[in-house]
Structure 1
Amino acid sequence: MDQPRVSVIIPVKNQQRLLVQCLAALRESGLPDLEIIVADDGCTDGTAAAAEAHGARVARVPQPGGVSAARNAGAAVAQGQILVFTDADVVFPPGALRTLVDCASAPGADGAVGVFSGDMPFGNFASIWKNHWMRYTYRRMPDRIALFFTSAAALRAAAFRESRGFDENYRAPSVEDTDLGRRLAARGCNIRLCREAEVIHHKRYGVADVLRVDYARARALVRLALRERANPKRRGAAFSVPLAYPLGAFALCAAAIFSGAAIATRGAALLAAAAVLFVLALVSSAGFLNSLRQEHGAAVFVKGLLFWGADCVAVCLGAASGALGFLLGKRY
């Protein structure tokens, strides 16, 4: 089978340093006739010039509109049969891009999604937690998935255009990739999980960053689910977050509420209910927490166990905010 022409699309806004290492890795991929498009969403630094200096084609967004609009602008001028979406802070190790493209262009496939590598440049707890969470959850998904992961995703150009691309109501990075993946699945597209295509995410998180991201993502996922509730083609598709985790988060938050009520009223039944809910919450996340211990050691595990509670609260608050906002007319 002839190798299809590949266009890599990278949305950027003032990310010169990160972009340079991303482009250098792509140039080492060995793919013939590789087109690299940097979608400039209103950069005011030297990002666009650096992109051109490294052989990338710069597509300037006429009216800066956020990451989804930038990706769509890049895709609009792409000439490849396979579109690969990634970000400036992602590096493809040798062979990873070819592996992803081969998965996406295999007979019967319409696209493919890669995963984060266990190798990462930052050793602080929050970065370890976030990278491990993304790696753990994605690697356990089925071979055929109803989502898109724009750190490392490849899709046949025809399928992208038929789906109308990314929803430009998402200006900041959010669940625009999940939304697109679910629309593709509803159209019958076969998006494959390519576990062998591992990429390195050069992003350093702090504890507050993770809590903020998980709060915002929970809010956005709830609104996406509520928008889709009347669409039977999408209702059966899984989200990127395993169902056990939000259920565990809600159980933990409920356990805290029941505990407070038990203390206030000295109610034994409430305390028993709180204990049951806490155990359910812990069981729901036991697999992830245990894998954190196995791969990163006891110290990270202990920190993770403590942080898990705070993250569950962030998820619950985000979900509640999403539902309330939807009732008040906010759809995104």
Structure 2
Amino acid sequence: MVKNSTVESLTISIVIPVYNGGEKFKRCLQSLTKTSLNPDEVIVVADGDTDGSWLLAKDFGAKVIRLPKSGGPARARNLGAKAAKGDILFFIDADVEVYPDTIEKVVTVFRNEPNLSALIGSYDDAPGADNFLSQYRNLFHHYTHQTSQEEASTFWGACGAVRREVFLNVGGFDEKYRLPCIEDIELGYRLKKAGYQIGLRKNIFVKHLKEWRPISMLKADFFYRALPWTALILRDRQLNNDLNLQYSSRLSVLLVYAKIGALMAAPWLSQTSIIACIFALAFLALNAPVYQFFHNKRGLLFALRSIPWHWLYYFYSGLAFAIGFVRHWLQVKLTYRQA
């Protein structure tokens, strides 16, 4: 329970880390000038940028903290949080636009729910980049948030707010994550472990402007998300039925690898090709709500195009978990031998 003084009149500080934000960062700042409730301050941490993003932020009236060398978003957010004066720290990424009512909704939630320590919002269903992969990736993210439970187990740096006193109590983001990674998820785990409540508020939206391409998406998902997230799960021994870790997602991974195994065995056991088809149909049935969502939002062709990418997503997610598990096992074994 927070102190009564913070419940009666809450102030809010926006914290944005930026590294060469370009036009997307400009759109982010422009969106903050059109809100129904003005933030008490906007703090931009220019993380070693070379494109003049810090000057753009100054032009928009933001308080700018300029770093000579990039240290990663975790460090940048921590520096912004320490300089902030608001009761609520609202972290957004430099490549998102807030809705006119986003800030007002964040403050209202904290005012009405004094026991809530942190909240995360959702990407909207109208991503800024119009190429297929960006639409697919961000719509899938939107779907995941909209179908997850409202009592969250992780935090989210693209659209996440936390009471400042709580954030400082748990030590902020872990600065060992030097790249955009899972520093927000790790913070969420520590918040939950400390007994703080995190809420997913599905009606609080931001628009993601990032343009995804195959290589950038696979690199980010595999190396910056799946592998470190696996290490975090194994470190904390915490596998929650939430967001990307729902039981349906875990079963989807098993079905993908079961199908691959059956197909590999087909040259020696012809009947396994039929078993592979059964696994494929089970996967499609399990994920039918996702494809129905894509169909409703973007049509039949879009839904059909999403299927191979969806298969690939579960393939490399499972591969990353397997690699992460082996790494963890070897590390534990090595530590045991050295003890």
What TM-score results when the alignment is normalised by the length of structure 1? 0.90
Per the alignment, residue 56 of structure 1 pairs with 62
CA distance in 1, matches of 2:257, 2:117: 40
| Contact 1:84/1:153, CA 8 A, preserved across alignment | yes
Residues 212 and 314, structure 1, Cα contact 8 Å, conserved in 2: no
Distance across 1 between alignment mates of 2:250 and 2:214: 19
Structure 1 residue aligned with 2:305: 303
The one of 204, 212, 229 equivalent to 1:221 is 229
Give the fraction of aligned pairs with identical amino acids, expressed as a percent: 28
1:225 deviation in Å?
Answer: 0.7
* Partner of residue 151 from structure 1, selected from 138, 149, 158: 158
1:28 to 4, 27, 34: 34
Which shifted more, 294-303 or 252-261?
252-261
CA–CA distance in structure 2, aligned partners of residues 210 and 37 of structure 1: 28
Structure 1 residue 26: Cα displacement: 1.2
**Which segment is superposed worse, 143-152 or 25-34?**
25-34
- 2:52 alignment counterpart: 46
- The answer as to whether partners of 1:36 and 1:57 remain within 8 angstroms in 2 is yes
Give the structure 2 partner of residue 288 of structure 1.
290
Shift of 1:203: 0.9
Correspondent of 1:180 among 163, 187, 192: 187
Instruction: Give the match for residue 128 of structure 1.
Output: 135
Q: Give the counterpart letter for 2:107 in structure 1.
A: V
Say yes or no: does 1:278 pair with 2:280. yes
Kindly tell me: are residues 162 and 70 of structure 1, through their superposed partners in 2, closer, same or farther at Cα, counting changes over 3 Å?
Answer: same
Deviation at 1:37, TM superposition (A): 0.6
From 189, 212, 217, give the equivalent of 2:219: 212
Instruction: Give the direction of change, closer, same or farther, for the CA distance of 1:329–1:11 in structure 2 (3 Å limit).
Output: farther
Aligned length: 324
Tell whether the 8 Å contact from 2:74 to 2:175 is kept in structure 1 after alignment: yes
Q: Is the 8 A contact 1:219 1:320 kept in 2?
A: no
Which ranges in structure 1 are unaligned for 5 or more consecutive residues? Answer: none
Q: What is the CA–CA distance in structure 2 between the aligned matches of 1:33 and 1:199, rounded to whole Å?
A: 16
Following TM superposition, by how much is the alpha carbon of 1:39 offset from its aligned partner in structure 2, in angstroms? Answer: 1.1
Determine whether 1:15 maps to 2:17: no
Task: Please give the secondary structure, in 2, of the residue aligned with 1:105.
Answer: helix
Take 1:236 and 1:286, find their aligned partners in 2: how far apart are those partners? 23
2:337 matched residue in structure 1: none
Please give the secondary structure, in 2, of the residue aligned with 1:158: helix
Matches within 5 A, 1:210-249: 210-216=217-223, 217-229=225-237, 234=238, 238=242, 240-249=244-253
1:96 equivalent to 2:73? Answer no
Confirm or deny that 1:266 pairs with 2:266: no
Q: TM-score, with normalisation over the residues of structure 2?
A: 0.88
